[in-house]
Chains A and B, each alone.
Chain A
Amino acid sequence: MESLAIYAPRLVTTKEYLASGHRACSGCGEVLAVRLTCKALGRNVIIVNATGCMEIVSSQLPYTSWEVPWIHTLFENTAAVASGIEAGIKVLSRKGGYSQKTKVVAMAGDGGTMDIGLQALSGALERGHNFIYICYDNEAYMNTGIQRSSATPFGASTTTSPAGKISIGQTSWKKNMPAIAAAHDIPYVATACTSYPFDLMNKVKKAMKVEGPAYIHVLSVCPTGWRLPSDLTIKAGRLAVETGVFPLYEIEAGKYTLNFDFPQLRPVEDYLKLQGRFRHLSKEVVAQIQERVKAEYAKLKRKVIQGS
C-alpha cells in the first residue's frame, strides 16, 4: 500500500484555505475547483472574487469560508481591482512598507469573465500586471438560475435559450476565451478541469511562478445547471476532455502544449447524453456538434505541432 505511486494524501496538502460549511449545491464542481486552486495557491495570496456563485456561497453574512485575504468585487471590475491591488503592492514594496511577494489572484465565473468583465480583463492583461486570472466556467449564469452566457455551448437548453418545438437551445458557439487571452501575448494561458486535479493544481503553481499576467480557464461542472445527477460531476468533466469538447492545453510564451492527447477522441454523444440540457438534441445537431469539435481539435493540434 505504501509503495503506491499515486497516493493523494501525500501529494496534496491537507490544509484547506476554503473552509467547509460553504453553501454550494451538493456535487458542485466549481467550489471543488476553488478548493483545489486554493490548496495550490497557499497562504500568501490576495483573492479578488467577482460576483457569482462562488461569492454567494462562500461569504454569507455573518460567515465566511475564506482563510486567505479575500475581496468581493462587481462583475465588471474584477481584473481592474486586481490590477489596483497589484499596483498598490508594487508601490508599497518600493517605498519599503511591504516586503512580501504576495500574488494577486482574480477569480470570476464565465459571465464575469467572458461577458461583463471582458474589457477590464483585456485592459489588465494588456498593461501586464503581475497577477493570475482564473475563470471558473460553468457555461451559464448559474447563480441567478441558468441564463445563457457567451460560454454556453451550442445546443444547450437554458432558461433564456430554452429548447422547444422550434428552438434547439443555444444557437451560437462557445466563445473561445483562452484564445482571446492568448491574443494579448501574455506569458501563460492554460485550460484545466476539476476532473484532472493534479493537472489543475500544477497549472496554478506554474502560473504562480510567472512574472506578468497568467490566465487559467477551468471547466467547472454544474450538476444543477447541466441537469445531471450530482455524483456524475467528475465523470462529466472527464468526458468533456476525452471527447475533445474541452481539450486541456497550455500556451507558454506563445508555445502550445496539449496536456492530454488521445489517439482517438470519444464520440461527443457520450458527453451530451449524460446531461439534461442536451436531452432534446436531434441526431443531426449532435453530428453538427461532432463536426465542430473535430475541426476545433484539429486546429488546436496544428498549433501544437507548429509550436505557436
Chain B
Amino acid sequence: MEKDETIEIRWHGRGGQGAVTSAELLALAAINEGKFAQAFPSFGPERRGAPVLAFNRISNVGHIRVRAAVTNPDVVVVLDPGLIYITDVTSGLKQDGIVVVNTPKSLADIKSELSGPWKLAVVNATVIAREALGIPIVNTAMLGALLKATEILGLESLVEPIKERFGPRAKNNIDACHRAYEETLMAELSVVGQGPRKAFETERLLSWQELLPGCVVIEAGNAKQYRTGDWKSQHPVWDQQRCIKCGICSLFCPEGCIGQNKEGDFEANMYYCKGCGICARECWTEAITMVEET
C-alpha cells in the first residue's frame, strides 16, 4: 500500500458465503496495523443464496469521511465462481484495478472470459475451504488471496481478528487463509478480449420511471419474471432410470419449480431453482443428485 492513499474494495458474494464477515475481518486487521478502515454490507431483502455486496475502505492518511457505497473500487473480490456470469463484477473498476476471483477454472480459461485494463488473481478457494474447513465457506480463503494480490496488509495482521471471530474454528480458517495466499496466481488481463464476453443473462428489471402511479402492480403473480436461478451454487440432476415418478420432489420444492415434462419425467426449472437440495435429500430412490454449478 502506497503512503498517502485510500484503497476501496468491493466484495461480491452470495448471502451466507461470508462476504460481510470478510470485509469486517479485513477492516479489523487494518485497524490493528494502525490504519483507518471501514467495512459495511449492502443488500436488499434478498435471502441466503442471493448476490450481495460488501465494501471496504482502508486508508493510512486519516479519517475516512465518505460513507457511501463503493462504486469505483480499486479491487474487486468475487467469492462465488458463478457471479462473474450474472453480474458485472468489474463495473466501475479503476484503471489498473485488480480482480480477485474464486474459480475452479484455470488461469488461461478465466482470462478468455474477462477482459479489460486490469490485473487478475485467481484461486480455487472452494476446494481450499472444503479441505481446510469441511464446508464451502470461502471468506477466509479469499482474504488470503486478496492480500497476496494487493499486499495492502500483512497476512499476520489477520490472525488476531480471525481468532477473535471464530474461536475454536480459528485455526482451520487461518490455514485456509494461508493456503489461499500461497496458491493464488496472478496475471495481466488484456484489453482486447480474446473471446466474446459472456452476455449477462439476468432479466431486465423495471426502472422507477416504468412503475405505475401509487406503485400499483396490475399483474398477479408477475414475480415469475424474477430470476432466482442465479442464487444457486448447485443444481439437481435426475437419474430417470431410478425415478419411480412418485412426485415427492415436486411436492417438497419450496420454489414450486419441479414439474413433469411431456415424457412424464420430472425436472426442475433452472430459472427459479435455488439449489437448496431438498429434492435430492427427500427422494426415496436417490434418483436425484446435486451437481456443483460451473
Contact = CB atoms under 8 A, between A and B. Distances in A.
Given A23-B47, A231-B281, A65 B221 contact: yes
Contacts of B281: 231-232, 234-235
Most chain B beta-carbon contacts within 10 A, residue among A6, A14, A25: A25
Given A19-B221, A22-B223, A28 B47 contact: yes
A26 B221 contact: no
B91 interface: no
Interface string B213-245: 001010011111111100110000000000011
Tier of interface size on chain B: 35 or more
Nearest to A65: B223
Interface in A103-119: none
Taking residues whose C-beta sits less than 8 angstroms from the other chain, chain A's interface range is: 35 or more
A29 B45 CA distance: 17
A162 interface: no
* Chain B interface mostly: loop
Interface in A53-105: 56-58, 60-68
A1 interface: yes
Contacts of A229: 277
Interface stretch (B57-65, B111-119, B170-178, B268-276): B268-276
B226 A32 contact: no
B1 interface: no
Contact of A64 (B220, B231, B272, B276): B220
A20 interface: yes
Nearest to A55: B45
Nearest to B47: A25
Contact of A14 (B248, B255, B259): B259
Contacts of A64: 217, 220-223
A20 B224 contact: yes
Interface in B9-52: 15-16, 44-50
B275 A26 contact: yes
Interface string A160-177: 000000000000000000
A294 interface: no
A12 interface: yes
A223 B223 CA distance: 23
Contacts of B202: none
A20 B276 contact: no
Contacts of B228: 20-23
Contacts, number: 148
B254 A57 contact: no
Interface in A14-56: 14, 16, 18-29, 31-32, 35-36, 56
A68 to B, nearest CB: 8
Residue of A4, A12, A18, A21 most packed against chain B (CB within 10 A): A21
B225 A26 contact: no
B187 interface: no
B260 interface: yes
Contacts of A63: 217, 222-223, 225-226
Nearest to A4: B246
A233 interface: yes
Contacts of B87: none
Nearest 10 A/B pairs, CB to CB: A231-B277, A8-B247, A27-B276, A26-B274, A19-B221, A25-B47, A21-B223, A21-B226, A25-B48, A26-B276
Interface of B: 15-16, 44-50, 206, 210-211, 215, 217, 220-228, 231-232, 244-248, 250-257, 259-260, 269, 271-272, 274-278, 280-282, 290
26 contacts: A9-B250, A12-B251, A18-B256, A19-B222, A20-B223, A21-B224, A24-B47, A24-B254, A25-B15, A26-B254, A26-B276, A27-B278, A58-B223, A62-B210, A62-B217, A64-B220, A64-B223, A67-B221, A197-B252, A230-B48, A230-B276, A231-B280, A231-B281, A231-B290, A233-B276, A233-B278
Given A7-B247, A27-B277, A230-B276, 18 more contacts: A8-B251, A16-B256, A18-B256, A19-B256, A20-B223, A23-B50, A23-B226, A25-B49, A35-B254, A57-B45, A57-B47, A66-B220, A197-B252, A231-B276, A233-B276, A234-B281, A235-B281, A235-B282
